[in-house]
Amino acid sequence: MLGTILGLLSVILGAFGAHGLKDLVSPESIVSYETGVKYQMYHAFLLLIVGGQGFVSQKGKTVMFYLILVGTILFSGSIYGLATNNLSAFDFKSIAFVTPLGGLFLIVSWGVMLTNILKQKHNN
């Protein structure tokens, strides 16, 4: 379900970025915003693929779920905030440190998947 929600929001946020933000923020900010959308969609697909397959254990899927949820909120969410910083009273630059932390969560989710695949291969 999270993969579907993240995918749906990626399409909505991507359309908003392409059409609603073009006159409000710089072209560099649009590119940054699009990066957040792309990574959110990549991880939506990852969740959909992993959820429907047996190469990751149920425990691994649960760990990946939380890593991707938190990672997407921190990584993509902070990029959305930073890209639209001039449109808000809140200074998202003050929490920019969470972007790489979110990226780390996303990287670790891929590591969890790799570990599960290797364990399964070793057991077969």
- 34: which residues sit within 8 A by CB, 6+ positions away? 14, 17
Residue 15, judged by CB atoms within 10 A of its CB (0-12, 13-18, 19+), counts as: exposed
Give the tens place of pLDDT for each residue, 46-102. Answer: 999 999 998 999 999 999 999 999 999 999 999 999 999 999 999 999 999 999 999
Domain ranges of the chain: 2-123
Give the tens place of pLDDT for each residue, 3-54. Answer: 999 999 999 999 999 999 989 999 999 999 999 999 999 999 999 999 999 8
Closest CA to 74 of 89, 47, 92, 90: 92
The CA distance from 32 to 67, in Å, is 22
Residue 124 has pLDDT above 80, yes or no: no
Which tokens is 3 given? 């993969």
Residue type, 29: S
